[in-house]
Amino acid sequence: MSHGWNGPEGEHHWSKNYPYCGGTFQSPIDIKSELLRFDPTLRPIEIQNYNLSPNEQLTLGNNGHSGECKSSVLSTKHMHISSLPHHYTAAQLHFHWGSSNRAAGSEHTVNSKQYAAEMHVVHFNSDKYPNMSMAVDKSDGLAVLGVLIEVGEFSPAFEQFLKFINGIKYRGKVQVPGFNIRALLPARLDEYYRYDGSLTTPPCYPSVLWTVFRNHVTISRKQVLHQLELFFLSRFDIRINKPLRNEC
Ligand code: SG4
Ligand code: ZN
Protein backbone atom coordinates (compact mmCIF):
# COMPACT_ATOMS: atom_id res chain seq x y z
CA MET A 1 0.00 0.00 0.00
CA SER A 2 1.13 3.55 0.45
CA HIS A 3 4.11 4.85 2.30
CA GLY A 4 4.94 6.97 5.23
CA TRP A 5 1.89 8.18 7.08
CA ASN A 6 -0.28 5.07 6.91
CA GLY A 7 0.13 1.67 8.48
CA PRO A 8 2.52 1.50 11.40
CA GLU A 9 3.47 5.11 10.71
CA GLY A 10 -0.20 6.06 10.83
CA GLU A 11 -2.00 9.04 12.19
CA HIS A 12 -1.63 8.14 15.85
CA HIS A 13 2.13 8.25 15.53
CA TRP A 14 2.44 11.51 13.59
CA SER A 15 3.13 13.62 16.65
CA LYS A 16 6.35 11.73 17.33
CA ASN A 17 7.94 13.09 14.19
CA TYR A 18 5.85 16.20 13.64
CA PRO A 19 5.45 18.30 16.78
CA TYR A 20 2.45 20.22 15.46
CA CYS A 21 0.41 17.09 14.80
CA GLY A 22 -2.26 16.40 17.37
CA GLY A 23 -2.19 19.98 18.67
CA THR A 24 -5.12 22.22 19.59
CA PHE A 25 -5.63 23.35 16.02
CA GLN A 26 -5.45 19.88 14.48
CA SER A 27 -7.76 19.34 11.52
CA PRO A 28 -9.93 17.65 10.52
CA ILE A 29 -12.63 17.92 13.17
CA ASP A 30 -16.05 16.49 13.78
CA ILE A 31 -18.42 19.39 13.17
CA LYS A 32 -21.00 19.13 15.94
CA SER A 33 -24.22 21.02 15.40
CA GLU A 34 -24.73 21.71 19.10
CA LEU A 35 -21.41 23.55 19.24
CA LEU A 36 -22.03 25.73 16.18
CA ARG A 37 -22.85 29.36 16.53
CA PHE A 38 -24.01 31.74 13.86
CA ASP A 39 -21.55 34.51 13.00
CA PRO A 40 -23.36 37.41 11.30
CA THR A 41 -20.06 38.95 10.19
CA LEU A 42 -19.27 36.11 7.79
CA ARG A 43 -19.87 36.78 4.11
CA PRO A 44 -20.60 34.34 1.29
CA ILE A 45 -17.41 32.95 -0.23
CA GLU A 46 -16.59 34.82 -3.40
CA ILE A 47 -14.53 33.04 -5.97
CA GLN A 48 -12.75 34.55 -8.96
CA ASN A 49 -11.38 32.97 -12.09
CA TYR A 50 -12.39 29.48 -11.13
CA ASN A 51 -13.47 28.95 -14.72
CA LEU A 52 -10.21 27.73 -16.19
CA SER A 53 -9.82 27.68 -19.92
CA PRO A 54 -9.02 24.34 -21.60
CA ASN A 55 -5.51 25.45 -22.44
CA GLU A 56 -4.77 26.00 -18.75
CA GLN A 57 -3.57 22.49 -18.17
CA LEU A 58 -3.98 20.87 -14.80
CA THR A 59 -1.57 18.21 -13.73
CA LEU A 60 -3.41 15.31 -12.21
CA GLY A 61 -1.13 13.14 -10.16
CA ASN A 62 -1.36 10.34 -7.66
CA ASN A 63 1.10 11.11 -4.93
CA GLY A 64 0.35 8.09 -2.78
CA HIS A 65 1.42 10.32 0.11
CA SER A 66 5.01 10.11 -0.93
CA GLY A 67 7.15 13.18 -0.73
CA GLU A 68 6.67 14.69 -4.12
CA CYS A 69 7.62 18.19 -5.06
CA LYS A 70 5.09 20.67 -3.89
CA SER A 71 3.62 22.88 -6.54
CA SER A 72 2.49 26.40 -6.06
CA VAL A 73 2.18 29.88 -7.47
CA LEU A 74 -0.58 31.09 -9.59
CA SER A 75 -0.27 34.74 -10.40
CA THR A 76 -2.63 36.77 -8.25
CA LYS A 77 -4.72 37.48 -11.33
CA HIS A 78 -5.66 33.86 -11.30
CA MET A 79 -8.04 31.74 -9.35
CA HIS A 80 -8.62 33.18 -5.92
CA ILE A 81 -11.14 33.78 -3.20
CA SER A 82 -12.06 37.02 -1.53
CA SER A 83 -14.47 38.01 1.26
CA LEU A 84 -11.95 36.69 3.76
CA PRO A 85 -9.59 38.88 5.79
CA HIS A 86 -7.08 38.65 2.92
CA HIS A 87 -6.94 37.62 -0.71
CA TYR A 88 -6.13 33.98 -1.10
CA THR A 89 -4.81 32.53 -4.34
CA ALA A 90 -5.41 28.90 -5.29
CA ALA A 91 -2.32 26.70 -5.29
CA GLN A 92 -3.75 23.23 -5.77
CA LEU A 93 -6.73 21.05 -5.15
CA HIS A 94 -6.80 17.49 -4.00
CA PHE A 95 -9.13 14.78 -2.80
CA HIS A 96 -9.34 12.47 0.13
CA TRP A 97 -11.03 9.23 -0.91
CA GLY A 98 -11.80 6.07 0.92
CA SER A 99 -9.84 2.98 0.10
CA SER A 100 -11.31 -0.34 -0.92
CA ASN A 101 -11.31 -1.54 2.66
CA ARG A 102 -12.72 1.68 4.06
CA ALA A 103 -15.33 3.05 1.71
CA ALA A 104 -15.91 6.42 3.39
CA GLY A 105 -13.06 8.81 3.00
CA SER A 106 -14.03 12.33 4.02
CA GLU A 107 -11.77 13.95 6.58
CA HIS A 108 -14.27 16.26 8.21
CA THR A 109 -17.33 14.62 9.67
CA VAL A 110 -20.62 16.26 10.58
CA ASN A 111 -22.19 14.97 13.78
CA SER A 112 -19.92 11.95 13.34
CA LYS A 113 -21.18 11.27 9.82
CA GLN A 114 -18.36 10.53 7.41
CA TYR A 115 -18.91 11.26 3.72
CA ALA A 116 -17.64 9.25 0.78
CA ALA A 117 -14.89 11.72 -0.07
CA GLU A 118 -13.77 15.29 0.41
CA MET A 119 -12.24 17.84 -1.91
CA HIS A 120 -9.86 20.56 -0.71
CA VAL A 121 -9.02 23.66 -2.70
CA VAL A 122 -5.87 25.02 -1.06
CA HIS A 123 -5.22 28.77 -1.27
CA PHE A 124 -2.41 30.85 0.18
CA ASN A 125 -2.56 34.40 1.51
CA SER A 126 -1.22 36.27 -1.50
CA ASP A 127 -1.58 39.67 0.21
CA LYS A 128 1.23 38.72 2.55
CA TYR A 129 3.20 35.88 1.00
CA PRO A 130 4.70 35.36 -2.46
CA ASN A 131 3.93 31.66 -2.69
CA MET A 132 2.60 28.57 -1.00
CA SER A 133 5.84 27.52 0.60
CA MET A 134 6.29 30.87 2.35
CA ALA A 135 2.69 30.77 3.59
CA VAL A 136 2.31 27.14 4.59
CA ASP A 137 3.56 27.49 8.17
CA LYS A 138 2.23 30.98 8.94
CA SER A 139 -0.81 31.36 11.16
CA ASP A 140 -2.55 33.49 8.53
CA GLY A 141 -0.99 31.62 5.63
CA LEU A 142 -3.65 29.38 4.12
CA ALA A 143 -7.37 29.15 3.42
CA VAL A 144 -8.79 25.82 2.33
CA LEU A 145 -12.26 25.27 0.90
CA GLY A 146 -13.60 21.85 1.84
CA VAL A 147 -16.36 20.11 -0.10
CA LEU A 148 -18.02 16.99 1.28
CA ILE A 149 -18.86 14.44 -1.37
CA GLU A 150 -21.70 11.94 -1.06
CA VAL A 151 -22.75 9.08 -3.31
CA GLY A 152 -25.82 10.06 -5.32
CA GLU A 153 -26.39 11.70 -8.66
CA PHE A 154 -23.78 11.51 -11.39
CA SER A 155 -21.54 14.57 -11.51
CA PRO A 156 -20.57 15.81 -14.98
CA ALA A 157 -18.09 18.16 -13.33
CA PHE A 158 -16.15 15.37 -11.65
CA GLU A 159 -16.25 13.35 -14.84
CA GLN A 160 -14.10 16.10 -16.39
CA PHE A 161 -11.11 14.71 -14.61
CA LEU A 162 -12.24 11.21 -13.57
CA LYS A 163 -12.07 10.23 -17.22
CA PHE A 164 -8.36 10.93 -17.15
CA ILE A 165 -7.41 8.96 -14.09
CA ASN A 166 -6.75 5.70 -15.88
CA GLY A 167 -3.54 7.44 -16.79
CA ILE A 168 -2.46 7.61 -13.18
CA LYS A 169 -3.48 4.19 -12.03
CA TYR A 170 -0.36 3.72 -10.01
CA ARG A 171 1.79 6.72 -9.69
CA GLY A 172 2.55 9.45 -12.10
CA LYS A 173 0.91 12.40 -13.76
CA VAL A 174 -1.49 13.17 -16.52
CA GLN A 175 -2.45 16.52 -18.06
CA VAL A 176 -6.10 17.52 -17.88
CA PRO A 177 -7.52 20.48 -19.79
CA GLY A 178 -8.74 23.25 -17.50
CA PHE A 179 -12.44 23.34 -16.73
CA ASN A 180 -14.83 25.21 -14.49
CA ILE A 181 -13.73 24.40 -10.97
CA ARG A 182 -16.81 26.24 -9.69
CA ALA A 183 -18.85 23.26 -10.88
CA LEU A 184 -17.09 21.08 -8.30
CA LEU A 185 -18.41 23.27 -5.48
CA PRO A 186 -21.93 23.15 -4.05
CA ALA A 187 -24.46 25.61 -5.46
CA ARG A 188 -24.60 27.61 -2.23
CA LEU A 189 -21.40 29.33 -1.19
CA ASP A 190 -23.06 31.25 1.64
CA GLU A 191 -23.60 28.32 3.99
CA TYR A 192 -20.44 26.96 5.49
CA TYR A 193 -18.64 25.98 8.66
CA ARG A 194 -15.67 28.15 9.56
CA TYR A 195 -12.89 27.45 12.00
CA ASP A 196 -9.16 27.97 12.55
CA GLY A 197 -7.32 24.73 12.02
CA SER A 198 -4.34 23.03 10.49
CA LEU A 199 -3.09 20.99 7.58
CA THR A 200 -4.69 17.59 7.99
CA THR A 201 -1.44 15.77 7.24
CA PRO A 202 2.14 16.17 8.46
CA PRO A 203 3.59 18.64 9.22
CA CYS A 204 0.12 19.72 10.44
CA TYR A 205 1.01 23.43 10.54
CA PRO A 206 -1.74 25.41 12.31
CA SER A 207 -2.01 27.69 9.32
CA VAL A 208 -5.42 26.99 7.79
CA LEU A 209 -8.55 29.10 7.88
CA TRP A 210 -11.04 26.36 7.13
CA THR A 211 -14.28 26.74 5.21
CA VAL A 212 -16.25 23.51 4.93
CA PHE A 213 -19.37 23.99 2.87
CA ARG A 214 -22.54 22.95 4.62
CA ASN A 215 -24.05 21.45 1.49
CA HIS A 216 -22.41 18.41 0.03
CA VAL A 217 -22.09 17.54 -3.65
CA THR A 218 -22.75 14.13 -5.14
CA ILE A 219 -20.99 11.77 -7.48
CA SER A 220 -22.53 8.54 -8.71
CA ARG A 221 -21.77 5.13 -7.26
CA LYS A 222 -20.13 4.26 -10.52
CA GLN A 223 -17.91 7.30 -10.26
CA VAL A 224 -16.89 6.25 -6.76
CA LEU A 225 -16.32 2.66 -7.80
CA HIS A 226 -14.19 3.88 -10.63
CA GLN A 227 -12.03 5.37 -7.92
CA LEU A 228 -11.95 2.35 -5.74
CA GLU A 229 -11.10 0.03 -8.56
CA LEU A 230 -8.33 2.20 -9.75
CA PHE A 231 -6.83 3.33 -6.52
CA PHE A 232 -5.57 1.44 -3.63
CA LEU A 233 -3.89 4.59 -2.58
CA SER A 234 -6.33 6.91 -0.99
CA ARG A 235 -5.29 10.36 -2.09
CA PHE A 236 -4.33 12.13 -5.23
CA ASP A 237 -3.92 15.68 -6.26
CA ILE A 238 -4.93 17.86 -9.08
CA ARG A 239 -2.21 20.43 -9.10
CA ILE A 240 -3.39 23.72 -10.46
CA ASN A 241 -0.04 24.72 -11.58
CA LYS A 242 0.09 27.26 -14.25
CA PRO A 243 2.81 28.32 -14.01
CA LEU A 244 4.28 25.53 -11.96
CA ARG A 245 7.31 26.15 -9.85
CA ASN A 246 8.96 23.13 -8.37
CA GLU A 247 10.23 23.61 -4.90
CA CYS A 248 12.20 20.44 -4.37
C1 SG4 B 1 -2.75 16.16 0.90
O2 SG4 B 1 -1.77 15.23 1.34
C3 SG4 B 1 -2.21 16.93 -0.31
O4 SG4 B 1 -1.74 16.01 -1.25
C5 SG4 B 1 -1.10 17.89 0.10
O6 SG4 B 1 -0.74 18.68 -1.03
C7 SG4 B 1 -1.61 18.80 1.20
O8 SG4 B 1 -0.56 19.66 1.63
C9 SG4 B 1 -2.06 17.97 2.38
O10 SG4 B 1 -3.09 17.07 1.96
C11 SG4 B 1 -2.63 18.83 3.51
O12 SG4 B 1 -3.62 19.70 2.98
O13 SG4 B 1 -5.80 20.64 2.76
N14 SG4 B 1 -5.67 18.29 3.59
S15 SG4 B 1 -5.04 19.74 3.61
O16 SG4 B 1 -4.91 20.19 4.99
O17 SG4 B 1 -1.50 21.51 0.74
C18 SG4 B 1 -0.61 20.98 1.36
C19 SG4 B 1 0.56 18.75 -1.39
O20 SG4 B 1 1.44 18.19 -0.79
C21 SG4 B 1 0.49 21.77 1.96
C22 SG4 B 1 0.80 19.59 -2.60
ZN1 ZN C 1 -6.80 17.81 2.10
Q: Which ligand is nearest to the Cα of residue 59, counting in written order?
A: 1
Instruction: Evaluate whether residue 31 is within a structural domain.
Output: no
Residue 115 is predicted with a pLDDT of 94
Instruction: Evaluate whether residue 1 is within a structural domain.
Output: no
Nearest ligand 1 atom to the CA of 239 is: 22
pTM of this structure? 0.86
Q: Which ligand is nearest to the Cα of residue 65, counting in written order?
A: 1
Instruction: Evaluate whether residue 5 is within a structural domain.
Output: no
Helices (H), the chain: 14-17, 132-135, 156-162, 221-230
The fraction of the chain above a pLDDT of 70, given in percent, is 74
Domain count, the chain: 1
* CATH code of 72's domain: 3.10.200.10
Instruction: Evaluate whether residue 142 is within a structural domain.
Output: yes
The whole-angstrom separation of Cα 105 and Cα 102 is 7
The whole-angstrom separation of Cα 165 and Cα 31 is 31
Residue of 3, 12, 65, 87 with catalytic role: 65
Q: How confident is the model at residue 211 (pLDDT cuts 50, 70, 90)?
A: very high
Q: Which of 123, 132, 126 is nearest to 70 (CA)?
A: 132
Instruction: Evaluate whether residue 247 is within a structural domain.
Output: no
What are φ and ψ of residue 156, in 5° steps? Answer: -60, -30
Residue 42 has pLDDT above 70, yes or no: yes
**What residue owns the CA closest to ligand 1's atom 16?**
199
The whole-angstrom separation of Cα 51 and Cα 144 is 18
In the structure, ligand 2 is a single-atom ion and the residues with CB under 5 Å from it are 120
ipTM over 0.90: yes
Residue 75 is predicted with a pLDDT of 33
Instruction: Evaluate whether residue 22 is within a structural domain.
Output: no
Over residues 133-174, the pLDDT tens digits come to 999 999 999 999 999 999 999 999 988 877 776 656 555 667
Q: How confident is the model at residue 114 (pLDDT cuts 50, 70, 90)?
A: very high
Residue 227 is predicted with a pLDDT of 65
First to last CA, the chain: 24
Specify whether 123 is catalytic: no
Q: Produce one character per residue of 159-194: b if its CB has 16 or more CB atoms within 10 Å, e if not.
A: ebbbebbeebeeeebbebebbebeebbeeebeebbe
The fraction of the chain above a pLDDT of 90, given in percent, is 42
Q: Which domain holds residue 122?
A: 44-233
Q: How confident is the model at residue 238 (pLDDT cuts 50, 70, 90)?
A: low
Amino acid at the residue 94: H
Q: How confident is the model at residue 235 (pLDDT cuts 50, 70, 90)?
A: very low
| Residue ranges around ligand 1 (CB below 6 Å) | 63, 70, 92, 94, 120, 122, 136, 144, 199-201, 208, 235, 237
Q: How far is the centre of ligand 1, averaged over its atoms, from the C-alpha of 40 (Å)?
A: 30
Q: Which of 48, 46, 49, 52 is nearest to 160 (CA)?
A: 52
Q: How confident is the model at residue 15 (pLDDT cuts 50, 70, 90)?
A: confident
Over residues 212-223, the pLDDT tens digits come to 999 999 999 888
Instruction: Evaluate whether residue 171 is within a structural domain.
Output: yes
Q: How confident is the model at residue 233 (pLDDT cuts 50, 70, 90)?
A: very low
Contact status, residue 104 vs residue 98, Cβ threshold 8 Å:
yes
The whole-angstrom separation of Cα 93 and Cα 238 is 5
